[in-house]
Amino acid sequence: MEAQRVAFSLIAALAVPAGLHWHKKLPWHAVLFSLVYASLALLPTGPSLEVVALLGATALLSFALALLSRPWPPGSYRVSISLPSFTASTYAGIVALLTAAAVYTYTGIGIASGWLAAALRNDQVWIFLSGGLTTVFGSQRTVAWIVKPQIDHIESRITSGELSIEVREFIAAAAHIGWLERVLLFAFLVSGKPEAAALVVAAKSFIRAPGASQGGKLVGDYYLVGTLASVGSALLISCATRIALGLSPL
């Protein structure tokens, strides 16, 4: 089964009646919808034990939500305990909820282990993951080395009082912004969307440029050099990653 199909289908099977308040107003409609929708989505993948377990857990969870949502009259089956007064239907809903959660957990562990095993054997997953980590974190030292002369000059100006202490905060935040910038650049470049990557750089310039200009030409040079180094490293590693994946560089 496709993981995305299973996840989105089960979420929809439970979220639609919940959004329409069927669990409270039309409980059996809610349970029926959950079961039918999940069946239509999962049964075409093959009537396996895993599918049957997921369908049963989905119907059970929907039934539990109905029990917990409806204002069932206490009647003669109220349970006398020292805790807040719960009705039998409330306890039944809790038991059904826990049972459904246990089935989902048991099934999810099996599915997750299958995903992990497939990912571990997939060369493309490791190429993409390694390229992304290298782009975001591995190139940080190279970028820092390139901008070090500007940082040294800025620190000397801060020490002498020519620049305000706020400039140091501006520089301290640059590394984390660079991580986010390279994440987006890598994702867009590897997916073959260089125009979207250009928008990331433009957005960063629009947001950060005013802060850089307040520190004078020296801080502006640091901002420009750091941005070019970050973008350049992301571009080079992204191109190498695409080549390793058997794609064109851009």
d(CA 186, CA 153): 31
Q: Phi, psi (5° rounding) for residue 82? A: -80, -20
Q: Do 39 and 109 fall into the same domain?
A: yes
Q: pLDDT value at position 70? A: 67
Give the three-class secondary structure for 133: helix
Establish if 80 belongs to a structural domain: no
Q: pLDDT value at position 209? A: 55
Establish if 147 belongs to a structural domain: yes
Establish if 250 belongs to a structural domain: no
d(CA 238, CA 112): 29
Q: pLDDT value at position 3? A: 67
Establish if 146 belongs to a structural domain: yes
Q: Do 91 and 46 fall into the same domain?
A: yes
Q: Do 108 and 134 fall into the same domain?
A: no
Q: pLDDT value at position 239? A: 93
Packing angle of the helix pair 140-160, 216-244 (nearest 10 deg): 170
Establish if 234 belongs to a structural domain: yes
DSSP string, 103-121: HHHHHHHHHHHHHHHHHHH
Establish if 59 belongs to a structural domain: yes
Q: Do 156 and 94 fall into the same domain?
A: no
Q: pLDDT value at position 81? A: 45
Expressed as residue numbers, the domain containing 195 is: 124-244
Q: Do 35 and 68 fall into the same domain?
A: yes
Size (the chain), residues:
250
Q: What are the CA-CA distances from residue 86 to residues 17, 65, 90, 91, 102 (Å)? A: 24, 15, 6, 7, 23
Q: Do 240 and 128 fall into the same domain?
A: yes
d(CA 94, CA 136): 45
Those residues with Cβ within 8 angstroms of residue 3's Cβ, 6 or more apart along the chain or in another chain: 111, 115
Q: pLDDT value at position 189? A: 92
Establish if 35 belongs to a structural domain: yes
Q: Do 103 and 136 fall into the same domain?
A: no
Q: Do 94 and 170 fall into the same domain?
A: no
pTM above 0.75, yes or no: no
Query: Residues of the chain whose pLDDT is less than 70?
Result: 1-4, 70-86, 110, 115-122, 205-216
Establish if 13 belongs to a structural domain: yes
d(CA 211, CA 202): 15
Q: Do 113 and 153 fall into the same domain?
A: no
How many domains would you assign to the chain? 2
Q: Do 117 and 150 fall into the same domain?
A: no
Q: Do 132 and 210 fall into the same domain?
A: yes
Taking residue 152's Cβ as centre, other Cβ atoms within 10 Å add up to: 10
